[in-house]
Amino acid sequence: GIQVEQSPPDLILQEGANSTLRCNFSDSVNNLQWFHQNPWGQLINLFYIPSGTKQNGRLSATTVATERYSLLYISSSQTTDSGVYFCAVVKRNSGYALNFGKGTSLLVTP
């Protein structure tokens, strides 16, 4: 199956700092999504981004499909950004379902 690797595994930031999370995948994909899992376990959709760049407020994401990676940028981080960020990909001939990485655990301190 397709491999999804996320880095760094853990990240601690002070409020107001910027960060970049990376997702590498081992094969071409048809779909890529970024999620934020809050402390209550809910997976919140951040971006649906199989290719290109998108922005939503302080968050933006870029997927370079030809080079098999995606980046999630968080600017001016807030304590509410804490949680685990997951990248998940779909490869059409590997079942159509999302395959998740292990996540990046982010803690933003006041």
Partner 1 sequence: EAGVAQSPRYKIIEKRQSVAFWCNPISGHATLYWYQQILGQGPKLLIQFQNNGVVDDSQLPKDRFSAERLKGVDSTLKIQPAKLEDSAVYLCASSFSRLMNTEAFFGQGTRLTVV
Judged by the rule CB under 8 A, the positions of this chain that interact with partner 1 are 4, 30-31, 33, 35, 40-43, 45, 48, 50, 86, 88, 90, 92, 95-103
Q: Report whether 83 contacts 64 (CB < 8 A).
A: no
Q: Is 2 helix (H, G, I), strand (E, B) or coil?
A: coil
Nearer to partner 1, 50 or 60 (CB): 50
Q: Provide the minimum distance between the beta carbon of 99 and partner 1 in the complex, in angstroms, as a whole number.
A: 8
In 3D space, the residue among 53, 57, 67, 54 whose CA is nearest the CA of residue 23 turns out to be 67
Closest CA to 73 of 86, 89, 82, 62: 62
Least distance between partner 1 and beta carbon 65 (Å): 13
Q: How far is the CB of 27 from partner 1 (least distance, A)?
A: 15
